[in-house]
Amino acid sequence: MTKLVFLLQGECRDLHDPRLHERLAAAGVRRLQVNVDDEHVADAMRIPTGDPVRAIVSVWDAEPGPVAEVLADAAATVHGWRVDERRRLDPPESWDGSRADALSNVAILRRPAELAHEEWLRRWMVEHTPIAIRTQATFGYVQNVVIEPVTAGALGVDAIVEELFPTAGITDMHAFYGSGGNDEELRRRLTELMASVARIGADRDLDLVPTSRYLYALDRAMGQALG
C-alpha cells in the first residue's frame, strides 16, 4: 500500500471535524491517522527545528494532490511525502477515532551530509533500532523512510518515525525509559541510547513532536453517516 505522510505547521483547524473527514473521503482517503500536539501532551518534551510541527497526518492509497488540497484548508503550511512504511513494533490500533492511551512521539529525521544514504539506513535500521527498543518503554515503533516529496517546497526530510510510550512517560522519565525507578539503570539506558542517536545524526537537525494519536476508518464512518 502507498502511504503518504503530511506535516502541518502553523495554526491548525480541527483535524477531528467530520466535515474535513468527508472531504478527505471524497479525495479517496479510506484510512486516516491524525497525530496532534494537543492538550493531552502539553507537558511532554518537544524539540522544534524552525517553525514547529503542530500535527502529522497519514493516509494510505490516495492521490497526494487532492489530499494536500484539503489539508491546506486545515493548516497554514502543509508538507507531504510518499514513504516506505516499516512497522518494527505494531502498536495496538482501534480505528474508531478514539485517542490512543499513549504518548506518541514523532521524530523527523534528516540524514547528516557526511553519511551516504545506504550507510545511514544501515546504522539506523540495523544498529540503532534494537538499541532504541531495548532502552525505552516503546510499545509501538513505525518507521517511514521518505521516497519522494508530494508537495511543492516540501522540507528536506529523510524519515519520519513514530514511537509509542506509556502515557505516564509524558512526565516520568522512568516510565518513558522503562527503568523501573532505578536511577542507575536510567543513566545506563540514556548513555547507550544517546551514543546510538549520535551515530545516525539524530542528535542534531531533529524535530521531536509529542502527539496524541487518533485513527479513523473513513469508509466505515461515511457509510454510517449515509445509512
pLDDT of residue 50: 87
Per-residue cell: 50: 524552525
pLDDT of residue 226: 40
How far apart are the C-alpha atoms of 227 and 222, rounded to whole Å?
8
SS (H, E, C) the chain: CCEEEEEEEEEECCCCCHHHHHHHHHCCCCEEEEEECCHHHCCCCCECCCCCEEEEEEEECCCHHHHHHHHHCCEEEEEEEEEEEEEEECCCCCCEEEECCCEEEEEEECCCCCCCHHHHHHHHHHHHHHHHHHCCCCCEEEEEEEEEECCCCCCCCCEEEEEEECHHHHCCHHHHHCCCCCHHHHHHHHHHHHHHHHHCCCCCCCEEEEEEEEEEEHHHHHHHHHC
**Which stretches of the chain drop beneath a pLDDT of 70?**
220-227
Residue 48: partners with Cβ closer than 8 Å, 6 or more residues away: 207
Domain covering 3-226: architecture: 2-Layer Sandwich (3.30)
HSE of 34, CA atoms in CB hemisphere, 13 A: 26
How far apart are the C-alpha atoms of 103 and 165, rounded to whole Å?
5
pLDDT of residue 220: 65
Per-residue cell: 88: 518494527
pLDDT of residue 152: 96
Tell me the domain boundaries of the chain: 3-226
pLDDT of residue 201: 96
- Quick count: other Cβ atoms within 10 Å of Cβ 163? 24
